[in-house]
Amino acid sequence: MSASGPAGAGPRVFIVDDHGLFRAGVRSELGDQVEVVGEAADVGPAIAQITASLPDVVLLDVHLPSGGGQAVVSSVKAAHPEVRFLALSASDAPEDVIAVIRAGARGYVTKTISTAELIDAVRRVAAGDTVFSPMLAGFVLDAFAALPAAGADRPALDPELDQLTPREREVLRLIARGYTYREIARELFISAKTVEHHVSSVLRKLQLSTRHQLTRWATDRRLA
Amino acid sequence: MIIRLLFVLGTLLSVGVPVYIVAWLLVPMVGEDSNIATKALADRRGLALAAGLGSLLVIVLVIISVLGAGWLGNLAWPLVIGVAGVALIWRNASPDEQIMLRRLAEPLLGWPRPGKRPATVLRTLAGTVLLAGGLAILLSGHAGAKLLLPLGGLILVVAAIVVILGPWWLRIALALVAERQARARAEERADMAARVHDSVLQTLALIQRNADQPAQVVKLARSQERELRSWLFGGSVPGVAHGRATTLAAGVRLIQQEVEALHGVAVEAVTVGDCGLDDHLDALLAAAREATVNAAKWSGADVISLFAEVEPTEVSVFVRDRGCGFDPEAVPGDRKGLAESVQARMARRGGSAIVRSALGDGTEISLRMPRVGGPRQPSRA
């Protein structure tokens, strides 16, 4: 999906974060690389304004005053599936990050990401690609590894969705080790497109599976 | 307050009248600006009530003495003063104290209660026997005008009270103290957490992003951020005891913190799974630390990736940078870190270390250590 703003401008971006200072910072950083069409500080205003302005990419804080960012994602996605979300957070509680991803965000980065990386991430999400930071890859590997293997006492409900393929695991591991998609492609002798395909597939599994185990995993972690 | 109550009881037993009154007038309540005496004197209705109760008691005593129970006369005055005192104390006690007084009265009024533990019943029984014995001796002592018997009786009565109520008073006092402390701690913590999370963490993120003096500011901001995080989320870092890690994930986190603090380089640490440490995994962590420090010192990269994964049969750690790289075949003789601290250390424990590097193309060190035992745990971030 290319930019629909004024000629020369990048993707249209909306910023949701409850800290005004942070919003201003991101706005000035992204500068002329993207077109910032609006910002909001909480779930309610965010949903209303995003629905009105229909940006290409929403930069979404994982933690908002009146609940997690996933509320924004699911409300907007229901009516406007074309709006894409990139999750950002300052603290890395795995269950919160996974919840936003499961709601439909295309990626997750930490707030300490460099400006160049952030702009690149926004572009990739706008183009329909995924943005998996090493941290997110680790969380996902952990979430799937914590599931009991299908077989012994429990038949796989949907093996397609319940498990990662060995190749997907390999790709996630390389992301966690700090490889970019391009470096992974070179390492595995596959095309960058194929890497993207694997990651998208992981994202789809994460989002589509209704597996209560994933929820269980999140709950267990919260209790721990 | 318990002390005051004991004095009242003492008063009832014809001792401690002056002591009680003096203490009562002079000792101010904890947490109150006026003592009970001041408040009691200002409480007209309370005074009236005390006077009323006292006079009622006098009448009852007079009737009793008329009926021939003359020995009660010995107790009459302390009893009257004691009852009036109790009434005043009750009316002027703080709400907290009233609740406590009610609790104190509970086992006497509500006894025997269903479901009481046998020990409590036994204790109460023993106390009652002591009390009865003590009273009997005390009263007969008065009748017989002997000097030592009343004292023995008094001791028995006090012992009875202590036996019956002592442990219970102690428990209440301890529970109250613990409860207050816990509440104060929780409030303080919630307060600080909210404030720090909203301001300092966010500001630190900003500093890292917009610094004009990148190296120094980022280094400071990062170490400060780590400190705050570990303080915020659980006081001490989970899995770390006495500065030493007890699990693999905690060990990786320690490496990350130390290298970031000492070398001013960001370490992006990711751990999948977790397990306890043994000699083998200690060696693995030590090698991983050495590899990370090496990358921080020599590679010139500003980010180092540190990835650890716990699998059923082995634990692997990858340390990667996109720095200058080097030719592993041509390491100068004075840089023994890699060969000694990493490869030899891993080999001694049955693990392996593979170095992949090329000039200008970064470095990755892959460490693998077979696991001896212990099930895999889900990781705790």
Q: Check pLDDT > 60 for residue B379.
A: no
Residues, chain A: 224
Which chain A residue has its CA at the smallest distance from B366's CA?
Answer: A177
Binning pLDDT at 50, 70 and 90, where does residue B134 land?
confident
CB contact under 8 A, B309 and A141: yes
Q: Which CATH number fits domain B236-370: 3.40.630.30, 3.40.1410.10, 3.30.565.10, 3.40.50.300?
A: 3.30.565.10
Residue A2 lies in a domain: no
Residue A4 lies in a domain: no
CB contact under 8 A, B205 and A138: no
CA distance B54 to B64: 15
Q: Check pLDDT > 90 for residue A188.
A: yes
My answer on whether A211 and A184 are in the same domain is: yes
Q: Which of A76, A105, A129 is at the close of a domain? A: A129
Using one digit for the tens of pLDDT, what is the confidence trace for B225-279? 766 666 665 444 455 555 677 889 889 988 988 888 778 788 999 999 888 888 8
Q: Check pLDDT > 60 for residue B1.
A: no
Tokens of B341: 């601290």
CA distance B116 to B110: 11
CA distance A58 to A193: 24
Binning pLDDT at 50, 70 and 90, where does residue A51 land?
very high
In eight-state DSSP terms, residue A56 is S
My answer on whether A19 and A124 are in the same domain is: yes
CA distance B21 to B11: 10
Tokens of B305: 């990736």
Interface membership of A186 toward B (CB under 8 Å): no
CA distance B199 to B93: 44
B185 contact partners, CB below 8 Å, separation of at least 6: none
Which chain A residue has its CA at the smallest distance from B208's CA?
Answer: A112
pLDDT score recorded for residue B156 = 79
Using one digit for the tens of pLDDT, what is the confidence trace for B101-133? 666 665 555 444 444 466 667 777 787 787 777
Q: Check pLDDT > 80 for residue B377.
A: no
CA A54 to chain CA mean position, Å: 18
Say which of B202, B272, B364 has its CB closest to residue A21: B202
Let me know: does B378 contact A220? Beta carbons within 8 Å.
Answer: yes
Q: Check pLDDT > 70 for residue A109.
A: yes
Q: DSSP 3-state assignment of B144?
A: helix
CA distance B295 to B278: 26
Q: Buried b / exposed e across B78-92, counting CB within 10 Å, b at 16+?
A: bbbbbbbbbbbbebb
Mean pLDDT of B140-144: 58
CB contact under 8 A, A134 and B229: no
Interface membership of A93 toward B (CB under 8 Å): yes
The sign one gets for the Cα dihedral A159, A164, A165, A168 is positive
Identify each DSSP E strand in B53-155 by its residue range.
Answer: none
Residue A76 lies in a domain: yes
Residue A32 lies in a domain: yes
Binning pLDDT at 50, 70 and 90, where does residue A152 land?
very low
Q: Which residues of B touch A142 (CB under 8 A)?
A: 272-273, 378-379
CA distance A188 to A179: 11
CA B162 to chain CA mean position, Å: 29
Total tally of structural domains belonging to chain A: 2
Chosen for mutation from B203, B210, B307, B319 (greatest number of chain A CBs closer than 10 Å) is B307
Binning pLDDT at 50, 70 and 90, where does residue B29 land?
very low
Range of the domain at A42: 12-129
Sheet of strand A12-16, all strands in order from the earlier edge strand to the far edge:
A35-40, A12-16, A57-61, A84-89, A107-110, A131-132
Percentage of chain A modeled with pLDDT above 90: 38
CA distance B284 to B286: 5
Mean pLDDT of B270-295: 90
In the predicted model, what is the mean pLDDT of chain B? Answer: 71
Q: DSSP 3-state assignment of A47?
A: helix
Q: Is B312 exposed, middle or buried (0-12, 13-18, 19+ CB in 10 A)?
A: exposed
My answer on whether A122 and A199 are in the same domain is: no
Residue A3 lies in a domain: no
Distance from CA of A178 to the nearest CA of B (A): 5
My answer on whether A115 and A198 are in the same domain is: no
My answer on whether A23 and A106 are in the same domain is: yes
The interface pTM score, or ipTM, of the predicted complex is 0.81
My answer on whether A179 and A117 are in the same domain is: no
Q: What CATH number is given to the structural domain containing A73? A: 3.40.50.2300
My answer on whether A17 and A82 are in the same domain is: yes
**Residue from B18, B15, B17 nearest B150 by CA:** B15
Residue A7 lies in a domain: no
Q: Which of A82, A110, A129 is at the close of a domain? A: A129
CA distance A104 to A60: 12
B160 contact partners, CB below 8 Å, separation of at least 6: B127, B128, B129, B130, B131, B134
Instruction: Indicate the helix (H) or strand (E) that contains B142.
Output: helix B118-144
Cis peptide before B112 (omega within 30 of 0): yes
Distance from CA of A79 to the nearest CA of B (A): 32
Q: What CATH number is given to the structural domain containing A183? A: 1.10.10.10
My answer on whether A51 and A109 are in the same domain is: yes
Using one digit for the tens of pLDDT, what is the confidence trace for B34-91? 555 555 566 666 666 666 666 666 666 666 665 555 555 555 566 666 666 666 666 6
Q: Which of A129, A161, A188 is at the close of a domain? A: A129
CB contact under 8 A, B381 and A141: no
pLDDT score recorded for residue B37 = 55
CB contact under 8 A, B303 and A178: yes
Q: What does R_g of chain B's alpha carbons equal in angstroms? A: 37
Let me know: does B90 contact B4? Beta carbons within 8 Å.
Answer: no
Dihedral of CA atoms A106, A112, A114, A117 in degrees, nearest 10, equals -10
